[in-house]
Amino acid sequence: MVDKSRYQKMFPVSWEQLHRDCRALSWRLVERGPWKGILAITRGGLVPAAIIARELDIHLIDTICLSSYNWKDQGEANILKEVDCDGEGWLLIDDLVDTGKTAKIARDMVPKAHFATVYAKPEGRPTVDTFITEVSQDTWILFPWDAGTQFVEPIVQVNE
C-alpha cells in the first residue's frame, strides 16, 4: 500500500497518457540534439526511454541501475550498475523525479548528460533539465506497470 501519511493524492497514469507525455517530452528534446544515446535509469526510466528512443530515432541505449523505491516506500538508493562516461551528448531519462535523492546520484554519475523526466515534483525538480508534468510533493503517481484493472463500486447505489 501507498504510505498514506506522505501521499495525500493519487495521480493515475494510463499507458496512453504515458505515451502522450513521452512524445511531448520528445518534442522538447528534439531541438537539443543530436544525441549520442540514452541512459535510462532503471527501472522506471526504461519504458519512457524506449518511447523517446523511437521518437528521436536513437538506437544506443544503456542503463544506470539504481534502486530506491518499492511499492511501500522510498528508501536509500543502491547503485547496482554504473556507466563509464561523463554523459556528454547523452540523454539521461527517468519516469519521475520525486525528492531528488536518486536523481542526484544519477546526475553525479553523468554530470554532462541532459537529464529529462516525464514527471517532476517540487523537491526534485531542480535536479532535472527538462520535464513535462509537475505534480505536488504529496501526490503518488500510479504508473500503469504498477496498476491492474478491477471492478470499482459505483459512488451511489439505489436499492430497488
Q: Is there a catalytic annotation at residue 98?
A: yes
Q: Is there a catalytic annotation at residue 21?
A: no
Q: Is there a catalytic annotation at residue 94?
A: yes
Catalytic site residue from 57, 73, 94, 108: 94
Instruction: Write b or e for each residue in 69-84: b if 16 or more Cβ atoms lie within 10 A of its Cβ, otherwise e.
Output: beeeeeeebeeeeebe
Q: Dig out the grid coordinates for 96 from the structure.
A: 519521475
Task: Kindly provide the residue ranges of all beta strands, DSSP E only, lying in the chain, ordered along the sequence.
Answer: 9-12, 37-42, 61-69, 74-81, 90-97, 114-120, 130-134, 139-142
Catalytic site residue from 84, 98, 108, 146: 98
The CA-based angle 23-88-18, given to 5 degrees, is 15
Catalytic site residue from 3, 21, 95, 129: 95
Catalytic residues: 94-95, 98
